[in-house]
Structure 1
Amino acid sequence: MTSATEQLSATTLLRFATAGSVDDGKSTLVGRLLHDSKSVLTDQLEAVEHASRSRGQEAPDLALLTDGLRAEREQGITIDVAYRYFATARRRFILADTPGHVQYTRNMVTGASTAELAVVLVDARNGVVEQTRRHAAVAALLRVPHVVLAVNKMDLVDYDETVFAAIANEFTGYASALGVPEITAIPISALAGDNVVDPSANMDWYGGPTVLEHLETVPVSHDLTGCHARFPVQYVIRPQTAEHPDYRGYAGQIAAGTFRVGEQVTVLPSGRRSTITGIDLLGRPVDTAWAPQSATLLLADDIDISRGDLLVPSDDAPPTSQDIEATVCHVADRPLTVGQRVLLKHTTRTVKAIVKAIPSRLTLDDLSQHPDPGQLLANDIGRVTVRTAEPLALDPYAQSRRTGSFLLIDPADGTTLTAGMAGEAFTDVTAPTTPADDDAEWDF
């Protein structure tokens, strides 16, 4: 007989993120989902009930299950990304509850960057608003394959089917134009529990799944073995022991694909070639290793390899370039400007770079491009051209979220400025390149 632990380990894992405007009921939805799926411990529920009574509320405020920071409880808004882990008999979940306030859109980028599904909440009374469009745009940029539109507070519009249909049609049209591949609209009342875990008796006109049922059944795949094989070197191991005097291993986590003993690989950006003579996995030799395993590769030739280099199959090597064109989401309070000197972090490699041009900024209302804005402000989405001091091997983000993404960092204090997706664009936009100021150290 299979034990409960074995059954749980055999279930698939779904990473999903929630997003919505302020007061759309996002934290209440998450709290209801945890409560009704029996994923809340008794002491947690008692703490929420006590906090609710101290605020003069008769019923437990389920939003408090996720709004854990003191500032969040005092203001009644979500500020930080709250990660929650729960499971049902059918699936395990990692939930990223992201802020709804426009000031914290950058946190939504963090929460959705590894998500396979995004739940976007809309208040049935307000419909699709600017922040709804912003969240849809971010989900599309980050290549989140599944989006759920949860039209909340249906109890406050008398469970009107026409209200739901109008919102669903508007959002579906907008998100489809962004390139979101799959959109599922569900009418809910997070406060009352309608269509969250259990079907609603108040909306018999709706025949689709509840939120939890959809989360349990949406198809997901974590198989990265068929992708282009990529191995960012994190650390060079040289034990120099009497037992292994000549041991030189290159350790890291396989970002995608599969590596095999005997395979010829190319080191990027140098372009030097060698052959894999051994693979160590958890302290023992193996013939094959695949993503997302952490492994150590041994090569036949003693060549110069250091942290940040990328090992790839020689017959499947991506091109390297010092000029990167990408769509970015600016996450810092200080603006990103043309000519700005930054650090670019790609996998385990960090290099100096210059922002050569900002060809456009996305206007969320109609998805039009504002040409040559000169700078990007916090939460702006736009196109940038960056020149790096050293060649980098970036895959298109559409092919690999891991090796197609990068960060722009302030070299002065290490602040993350911008999250970038190589090759991503809503429309093809070109603009003249503005040269940076001459600088002996940074001009490349």
Structure 2
Amino acid sequence: MAHAASKLDPAAFTDYLAAQERKGLLRFLTCGSVDDGKSTLIGRLLYDSKLIFEDQLLTLERDSRKHGTTGEDFDFALLVDGLEAEREQGITIDVAYRFFTTEKRKFIVADTPGHEQYTRNMATGASTADLAVLLVDARFGVVTQTRRHAFIASLLGIRHVVLAVNKIDLVDFDQARYDAIRKDFETFAASFGFDTQVAIPISARFGDNVTTRSDRTPWYTGPILIEHLETVEVGDDLKSRPFRMSVQWVNRPNLDFRGFSGTIASGSVRPGDSVVAATSGRRSTVKRIVTMDGDLTEAHAGEAVTLTLADEIDLSRGDVIAAADARPEVTDQFAAHVVWMSDAPLFPGRPYLIKVGTKTVTGSVTEIKHKVDVNTFEHLAAKELHLNEVGFCNLSLSAPIAFDPYEANRETGSFIVIDRLTNATVAAGMIWFGLRRATNIHLQAIDTGKIARAALKGQHPAILWFTGLSGSGKSTIANLVEKRLHSMGRHTYVLDGDNVRHGLNRDLGFTDADRVENIRRVAETAKLFVDAGLIVLVSFISPFRAERRMARDLVEDGEFVEVYVDTPIEICRQRDPKGLYAKAEAGQIKNFTGIDSPYEAPEQAEIHLMTSQATAEMAAERVVDYLREHRLID
């Protein structure tokens, strides 16, 4: 290390490692507005903890001259801001994690970005933290980003906060300025319910009240930052909570062994404990706790183990093994706070993948109850969520999941939302409570089913989903296909975009959110026609791949035929049978697909019709030929 070159003999080294293992661990994050000194503070902590190697110190000295903002002094922020873009701009973009230790405690600190556009990164860092160090510049006091980060910290379950009034040296160590900032913060954060809330005047650059008490703030008698971090009681209460373990995989190396592997989310477990498969309710007892180092007599939260059970019960990846006397809730609908992390907005009804623990299911937001103005904390009406916005939403899943409310257990009450097409994580969520509004409603068994209805008509039910730009010829081709099928004695029905908007969807506009709901309703209606044994022809622009995928997933394999009516927009403009393109280009129609709203073309449509190379009649005949070739009609 740069500051300590003493050598340890083997015995002393062993004692040192044992002492390190006995130390407690505190996870905390630094947050606040841009240029409030978050990275500098962490760099100061690393430097004063003597955890910087000689080569790092030399690099820091060189980079301070090149990128630094502190004159001849070390710019400690450069120890953390590893991205070249961060060094050039003097800001933090990514979340940087650093480890350091003192005589009393070990620490993992997350340095999170201050820019509003990177609020999602701050939420990521806060999701595993026990304490937040919220920095404010003593010159500017509490600003909008201070309020935003304090709110998100409280929302994500952080119960301990330090208000670090940084750059106190730039206001001449003025006590009155410190007191005003402290009172301002206490006023707006009173409703957040933090367990501990400590304000400390510091200078991260010069180290005042960071790791040593400053002579320049004789009026401050509270703890310095490192003292508070070493002594604050955050409570390792995961071990005291009911036992929960999500099954990561079923360990079956041979016919004589079947175990369930995963990381214990909370509580502890011993051989002989009574456990339950949370979703099915099947009970058993723990037979063994198996690890690579041998069997354990007890395992606790955070440990990765394999459990064998005394009984053969059905468990697979994603299932939750729980204490039999303290079962989690099980539901397929719940209310949750959602932090949206994608540039593409969240629309109710759009299908996503919802990952809770190790279980992944299809789901969607059914309603945005409100979004939160993170500047004023007001609840605002909303039909969609945009990047970095926080909303309180109802969600519906394709299958039940086991969970605990987030305030009771952060491990089993959190989830992420994944885009089904890109596989990108687009949101993080905190489950507040389950919705039981439909528990008294069950599917009614019907003796006459889809197969029987279709057999009576001599056909196989299917959805022919015609998609393409306005003016591409979708409705014309769909109409010709239906006429051809009707002449063959087939039973059909056409759902056309314009016609449906005169009835079922007359209450919807043309915003992206309304377009998503438009397709959701039509897809559900088409599913009913398929259940009736019909061939239903759906003619909608349906500009988004996600909604077309949702419609496909509602029916069985082979029952959804995507027909891409591919017509260049120049030809659509020339046709313009309803004068819509002219109105859109004149600004009289907003959110018009192809003009000021995007169209996502199919990537693997079953039928690709290029209408610039064929007549409508030829295109219709090709669709009928496809139905014959795939035995949807005889």
Which TM bucket (shorter chain)? Answer: over 0.9
Alpha-carbon shift at residue 246 of structure 1 (Å): 2.7
Matched AA of 2:389: D
Which digits, 9 at most, give the CA deviation of each residue in 1:5-46, with x for residues without a partner? 322222111111000111111111111222223222222111
Give 2:139's match in structure 1, choosing from 107, 122, 125: 125
TM, length-normalised to structure 2: 0.65
Name the counterpart of 2:375.
365
Higher relative contact order (CA 8 A, sep 6+): 1
Q: Give the corresponding residue for 2:236.
A: 222
User: Which residue of 415, 427, 432 maps to 1:406?
Assistant: 415
> Aligned pair 1:422/2:431, yes or no?
yes
Q: Distance in 1 between matches of 2:288 and 2:76?
A: 53
**What code does the residue aligned with 2:166 have?**
N
SS of equivalent to 1:337: coil
**SS of residue matched to 2:64:** helix
Runs of 4+ in 1 over 4 A off after TM superposition: 439-444
Show the 5 A alignment for 1:38-49.
38-49=50-61
Matched, 1:22 2:31: no
> Equivalents in 2 of 1:104, 1:265: separation in Å?
42
Matches within 5 A, 1:151-230: 151-230=165-244
1:381 matched to 2:396? The reply is no
Distance 1:251 1:7 in 2: 30
CA distance in 2, matches of 1:103, 1:275: 49
Match of residue 364, structure 2, among 323, 337, 354: 354
The answer to whether structure 1 residue 330 and structure 2 residue 340 are counterparts is yes
Displacement of 1:55 after TM fit?
4.4
More helix by share: 2
Deviation for aligned residue 1:215: 1.0
Residue identity opposite 1:293 in structure 2 = E
- Determine the C-alpha separation between the residues in 1 that align with 2:231 and 2:553: 51
Q: Distance in 2 between matches of 1:388 and 1:414?
A: 18
Deviations 1:284-314 (A, max 9, x none): 2334322222111112332321100011122
Q: Distance in 2 between matches of 1:321 and 1:262?
A: 28
For 1:7, the equivalent position in structure 2 comes to 19
Q: CA separation in 1, counterparts of 2:405 and 2:121?
A: 23
Whichever residue aligns with residue 428 of structure 2, its letter is A
Q: Deviations over 1:66-104 (max 9, x none)?
A: 111111101111011111111111111111111111111
Counting matched residue pairs gives: 430
What is the alpha-carbon distance in structure 2 between the residues aligned to residue 55 and residue 369 of structure 1? 42
Q: Tell me, in whole angstroms, the C-alpha distance in 1 between the residues paired with 2:324 and 2:218.
A: 58
Does structure 2 retain, via aligned residues, the 8 Å contact 1:152–1:190? yes
Counterpart of 1:305, as a letter, is: L
Q: Distance in 2 between matches of 1:335 and 1:181?
A: 35
Counterpart secondary structure, 1:279: strand
Q: Which residue of 2 aligns with 1:83?
A: 97
Are 1:37 and 2:49 an aligned pair? yes
Matched residues in 1 for 2:329 and 2:116: separation?
Answer: 37
Alignment of 1:86-97 (within 5 A): 86-97=100-111
| Change in 2 beyond 3 A, CA 1:55/1:411 | closer
C-alpha distance 38-288 of structure 1, shift in aligned 2 (>3 A): closer
Maintained 8 Å contact 1:123/1:151: yes
Aligned twin of 1:309: 319
Partner SS for 2:403: coil
Partner residue in 2 for 1:296: 306
| Larger of the two Rg values belongs to structure | 2
1:135 Cα deviation from its structure 2 partner: 0.5
Whether the aligned pair in 2 keeps the contact of 1:224 and 1:291 (CA below 8 Å) is: yes
1:339 Cα offset (Å): 1.2
Partner of 1:114: 128
Matches within 5 A, 1:129-148: 129-148=143-162
Partner Cα distance (2:272, 2:102) in 1: 43
Partner in structure 1 of residue 354 of structure 2: 344
Alignment partner, residue 428 of structure 1:
none
- Unaligned 5+ runs, structure 2: 1-10, 434-513, 528-551, 556-634
Question: Cα distance 1:225–1:60, how it changes in 2: closer, same or farther (>3 A)?
Answer: closer
Cα distance in 1 for partners of 2:235, 2:292 equals 25
Tell me the amino acid that sits aligned with residue 145 of structure 2: Q
1:122–1:300: structure 2 CA closer, same or farther, 3 Å change rule?
same
Change (3 A) 1:357 1:200: same
* Counterpart Cα distance in 2 of 1:19 and 1:406: 23
Decide whether the 8 Å contact of 1:80 with 1:107 is kept in 2: yes
Determine the C-alpha separation between the residues in 2 that align with 1:161 and 1:410.
50
State the Cα deviation string for residues 150-196 of structure 1 (Å, max 9, x = none). 01111111211111111111112222212222111001111222111
* Structure-to-structure mapping, 1:228-267, within 5 angstroms: 228-240=242-254, 245-267=255-277
- Structure 2 CA distance for partners of 1:398 and 1:200, relative to 1, 3 Å: same
Q: How far is the alpha carbon of 1:53 from its aligned partner?
A: 1.9
Name the counterpart of 1:427.
none
2:402 maps to 1:393: yes
- Counterparts of 1:429-440 in structure 2 under 5 Å? 436-437=520-521, 438-439=523-524
Q: Which amino acid aligns with 2:194?
A: V
SS for the counterpart of 1:393 is: strand
Identity, % of aligned positions: 48
Q: Which letter maps to 1:225?
A: K
Q: Higher strand share goes to which structure?
A: 1
Aligned 8 A contact 1:326 1:385 in 2: yes
Matched-pair contact (CA < 8 Å) for 1:117–1:147: yes
CA distance in 1, matches of 2:418, 2:299: 32
**SS, match of residue 163 in structure 1:** helix
CA distance in 1, matches of 2:287, 2:16: 41
- C-alpha root-mean-square deviation of aligned residues, in Å? 1.9
